[in-house]
Amino acid sequence: MTSPNICKWGILATGGIAVNFVEDLLLDSSKRNASDVQHVVAAIASSSSLEKADDFKAKTGCPSSTKTYSSYEDMVKDKDVDIVYIATPHVYHYENTLLCLENGKGVLCEKPFTINAAQLKHLITEARKRNLFLSEAMWTRHIPAVREVQRLIHEEKVLGRITRVFSDLSVPFALDPKHRIYNPELGGGALLDVGIYALTWQLLTLYQHPENARAHPEFTSTFTKSPLTGVDDSTVVIGNYPRLGAQGIATTSLHAKTSSVYSVLIQGEKGDIRVPPMPMNPERFFLDLKGQESKEIEISMNGSNGMGFEADAAARCLRDGKKETELCTLEGDSLVVMKIMDEVRQKGDFRYPEKWEATRPGV
């Protein structure tokens, strides 16, 4: 029996999302049908203090061999680290990723990849120049239930011709002034922070439909800003897909809550597929074919938070010498999303402070 390939991770930042990611790294990967890879948390870095990194190590149950650092710069120089998972707020993703690439480390960076498409283009150029792995940690693209939905509508065509996809992620709790979604200085705003999930579902179902052949849709959007902070607090992105004769409607709001009935509704000639909240990492969905009883389909993640699947994909890419994951390609997926969100923000006349929108001089 072949031994699993060992992937040694550096964890850059110690917030809640990093906790969830590390918990999945420490799970037995065979529970995700990933016995061919094994994850090791080699290092953890906090930008504020060594104590914070040590606390994170203890909280997540990392082994005693895991090193801790009080600076990102020191961790990315650690020769025992194969790849870095970046879990900082997204206004820092561009500079954090550049730091890793410049020090020869592959990167799995949390979504959204960057603030704008120009920043992501630069990161792609730098990664390819250095022959390094780079990917966005858009876990939704790797979730088994999501992949099964794609298989059913793209390969089995259980709904026949798709006519409309409605996707929503709305979170009124984010109106708390202490929450970063509400803070333009931290890249806050409904679209980039949570609306990206609703937009991703539209792309997973329609843009990636085989009959669409990745033809870019015709987008329109509406965009409202908070009178208190100026960040976007409600956004609707409508994509028309002429090759499919279908329309996608992606919505997000800080004033409403996603329906308890569904967060994603895929409608076709033969019926519907409903995905209940939340749309990021579902374990079940409903197939409602015309003239038949509703069928619930459940695909358990066996105790995983849902982030282990993207980690497994990254580990396999490192093992096989690939520089991006097939389920979340750099130019075909991540850059497409960034360009759409740039367009939506431009139409809504919204920019973040220039220090967050900027790229390195000369880029």
Full 3-state SS string of the chain:
CCCCEEEEEEEECCCHHHHHHHHHHHCCHHHHCCCCEEEEEEEEECCCCHHHHHHHHHHHCCCCCCEEECCHHHHCCCCCCCEEEECCCHHHHHHHHHHHHHCCCEEEEECCCCCCHHHHHHHHHHHHHCCCCEEEECHHHHCHHHHHHHHHHHHHCCCCCEEEEEEECCCHHHHCCCCHHHCHHHCCCHHHHHHHHHHHHHHHHHHCCHHHCCCCCEEEEEEEECCCCCCEEEEEEEEEECCCCEEEEEEEECCCCCCCCCCEEEEECCEEEEECCCCCCCCEEEEEECCCCCEEEECCCCCCCCCHHHHHHHHHHHHHCCCCCCCCCHHHHHHHHHHHHHHHHHHCCCCCCHHHHCCCCCC
Q: Please, where in the chain does CATH 3.30.360.10 lie?
A: 144-298
CA distances from 41 to 2, 57, 60, 203, 301 (A): 22, 9, 10, 32, 21
Report, as ranges of residue numbers, the positions in the chain whose pLDDT lies below 70.
Answer: 1, 173-182, 184, 187
Q: Please, where in the chain does CATH 3.40.50.720 lie?
A: 5-138+307-323
Residue 356 has what pLDDT?
92
Distance CA 63, CA 229 (A): 43
CATH number of this structure's domain 5-138+307-323: 3.40.50.720
Residue 178 has what pLDDT?
63
Q: Please say whether the structural domain 144-298 has been given the CATH code 3.40.1580.10.
A: no
Residue 173 has what pLDDT?
65
